[in-house]
Amino acid sequence: MGAAPASRDVTSYGMGLAAPLALFFLIFFVAPLLQLFWLSLHNDTAGLHWGLGQYLHFLTDPFSLGVLGSTLLLGAEVTAVCLVLGFPIAWLYQRVGPKLQTIIILIVLLPLLTSVVVRTFAWIVILGRQGIINATLQSLGVIDTPLKLLYTQFGVVIALAQVQMPLMTLPLITALGRIDPNLDDASCSLGAGSWRTFFRIVLPLSLPGVIAGCTLTYAAAITAFITQSLVGGGQMLFMPMYLYQQASTLQNWPFAAAISIIFLLAVLAVVSVFTTLGRLSRGYGGA
């Protein structure tokens, strides 16, 4: 960068500083995405005939739509579980002493410090027919035959919820930490009980954190290939595995590309719903 003329606006730093990252994104993100889109516009696997056949196929095929639907539903369930379980943790974090705070943050972050594969296999051990849950319940005499936990929607939701929990809890902790503790006292002194204080004051003011946490958890849950496949097993098919099968096993690259684009658009639609909600709550959380 040469010497700037004296009249130059000091706030307009050259875009050149962003160039390395922009170039990186252009080569490794935008270009492959365009290639993917280009590929999806072909009707045959050889990529010779142009057309929207792959999209028509997906959108008219009940099986494919079912996979998309169950994937979006899975995301919603995982997000709901994370929100319901994560909020109390975040709330507790803001109300305990510094020592307990360290312990809570460690527990929250712990999943991030172990490999996804290891964590997922741990869940298989916990949920399996001879797993910890079934063994415990059987030895207590609660059940006679083992429950089917592994390879069920329930199992996938629980495992994913644990894996994605930090993505929900951390934004919630930040959002709750920004709420003036005097507001709690003020509400209480005005005669409001704990529930009214929670629903009228704490929850509305933590909405930015709730929305950020939900967006992150949702996006991460529906694209979690490893956990979905290992805990879900062969019977449960979600979009990432569906995509993988089409691309790697069946070598149907144009259809796999179309699945990717549709999945991408579906995720973007859900995320934009969250962001719109966030904008509607604009008056919240600010000073």
Binding residues for other proteins, rule: CB under 8 A, are: 180, 182-183, 185-193, 196, 200-201, 204-205, 283-287
Q: Cβ of residue 179: shortest distance to other proteins, in angstroms?
A: 9
Q: Determine the Cα–Cα distance for residues 188 and 241; give it in Å rounded to an integer.
A: 51
Q: Determine the Cα–Cα distance for residues 64 and 208; give it in Å rounded to an integer.
A: 34
**Residue 67: what residue type?**
V
Q: Cβ of residue 201: shortest distance to other proteins, in angstroms?
A: 6
Cβ nearer to other proteins, comparing 14 with 193: 193
Cβ nearer to other proteins, comparing 129 with 200: 200
Cβ nearer to other proteins, comparing 155 with 285: 285
Q: Cβ of residue 134: shortest distance to other proteins, in angstroms?
A: 44
SS3 content of the chain, % helix, strand, coil (to 5): 75, 0, 25
Whole-angstrom CA distances from 39 to 129, 203, 211, 235 are 43, 45, 34, 29
Cβ nearer to other proteins, comparing 30 with 183: 183
Q: Cβ of residue 199: shortest distance to other proteins, in angstroms?
A: 12
Cβ nearer to other proteins, comparing 205 with 243: 205
- Number of residues in the chain: 287
Cβ nearer to other proteins, comparing 1 with 190: 190
Q: Determine the Cα–Cα distance for residues 136 and 139; give it in Å rounded to an integer.
A: 5
Q: Cβ of residue 264: shortest distance to other proteins, in angstroms?
A: 34
Contact 43, 49 (CB under 8 A): yes
Phi, psi for residue 82 in degrees, rounded to 5: -60, -40
Q: Determine the Cα–Cα distance for residues 219 and 263; give it in Å rounded to an integer.
A: 11
Which residues on adjacent β-strands are paired with residue 42?
Answer: 50
Give the CA angle between residues 145, 146, 152 to the nearest 5°.
135
Q: Determine the Cα–Cα distance for residues 197 and 188; give it in Å rounded to an integer.
A: 7
Q: Cβ of residue 284: shortest distance to other proteins, in angstroms?
A: 5
Q: Cβ of residue 172: shortest distance to other proteins, in angstroms?
A: 17
Cβ nearer to other proteins, comparing 102 with 194: 194
Token couple for 209: 């954190």
